[in-house]
Homo-oligomer: A and B are copies of this chain.
Amino acid sequence: MLDAVVADPLGPRNAYSPAVPSVAGLPRKQSTTIGFGAFGTIARFARDETIFSEGDEARYCYKVIGGAVRVSKVMLDGRRQIVDFLLADDLFAIDGDETHVLTAEAIGTVVLARYSRANLQRLSEDAPELRREILTALRRDLAAAQHHLLMLGRQSARERLASFLLLLANRRKHESGNRVDLPMSRQDMADYLGLTIETVCRTFAELKRLNVVATAERQYVVICNPNVLRAIAAGIN
């Protein structure tokens, strides 16, 4: 609502008012959306559309309403490292630099809530709840990045894929037990894991051969043997 005074750089199709409905009806959890629920606008992005690029002026913070987002860094020659995948309810671009240091793109169709940074900054001065939420999100991102460093620096391809599947499984305590959704492509996984697409495929095949996972379709896997998967991820072989 306060956002409306800022010209929308993305054009009308990404600027559906009205404000995000407040989440007053939800059960109060530690990481509730108080503050964030109040003044965002909704934006929609198509598959592979860029939400922002490294170097862009950072005007907004975002929260995923639906769909999945990848944030990445890209080298001059095109090598890409995906830093994180954002799923429903995840905040991103909260790091608060003047310009974005990462690129964010939609994986499939994505619906986002968008919050003006200026407002957020102003509001957070007098809202300890909001500050806490921002701080919590930052710390989660930092801890995730540090774990990710261990994966890329010290784990084998098999260990990395196992860790990745467990991360996704823990993120979404999916009602349907051991099923893990994989909204991203194999190339995206490869770029997250610091591998090639071929190695990701072969490693999936390997885990399948070990009866640790089953892959019927590409958009999800079923974890057949969580204990073995955890052992592999922890490097117990």
Question: Least Cβ distance of A127 to chain B in Å?
Answer: 12
Tally of this chain's copies: 2
Asked if A1 lies at the interface with its beta carbon under 8 angstroms from chain B, I say: no
Residues of chain B within 8 A of A153, CB atoms compared: 81, 152, 191, 193-194
Asked if A7 lies at the interface with its beta carbon under 8 angstroms from chain B, I say: no
Residues of chain B within 8 A of A75, CB atoms compared: 150, 154, 234-235
A83 touches B234 (CB 8 A): no
Stretch touching chain B among A137-145, A169-177, A212-220: A137-145
A154 touches B194 (CB 8 A): yes
Question: Least Cβ distance of A94 to chain B in Å?
Answer: 9
Question: Least Cβ distance of A97 to chain B in Å?
Answer: 7
Asked if A55 lies at the interface with its beta carbon under 8 angstroms from chain B, I say: no
Q: Once the chains are docked, how many angstroms separate the CA of A141 from the CA of B141?
A: 10
What size tier do the contact residues of chain A reach? 35 or more
B152 touches A194 (CB 8 A): yes
Q: Once the chains are docked, how many angstroms separate the CA of A136 from the CA of B169?
A: 32
Instruction: Provide 12 A-B residue pairs closer than 8 Å at the C-beta atoms, listed in order of the A residue.
Output: A75-B234, A76-B236, A79-B154, A80-B154, A81-B150, A81-B153, A83-B146, A96-B135, A135-B138, A141-B142, A142-B142, A149-B152
Asked if A148 lies at the interface with its beta carbon under 8 angstroms from chain B, I say: yes
Asked if A18 lies at the interface with its beta carbon under 8 angstroms from chain B, I say: no
Residues of chain B within 8 A of A142, CB atoms compared: 95, 138, 141-142, 145
Q: CB < 8 Å: which of B95, B131, B138, B145 contacts A149?
A: B145
Within 8 A of B (CB), among A36-79: 73, 75-77, 79
A146-190: CB near B (< 8 Å → 1, else 0) gives: 111110111100000000000000000000000000000000000
Question: Least Cβ distance of A234 to chain B in Å?
Answer: 6
Question: Least Cβ distance of A62 to chain B in Å?
Answer: 16
Q: Once the chains are docked, how many angstroms separate the CA of A135 from the CA of B131?
A: 10
Asked if A101 lies at the interface with its beta carbon under 8 angstroms from chain B, I say: yes
A77 touches B235 (CB 8 A): yes
Asked if A8 lies at the interface with its beta carbon under 8 angstroms from chain B, I say: no
Within 8 A of B (CB), among A81-140: 81, 83, 95-97, 101-102, 125, 128, 131, 135, 138-139
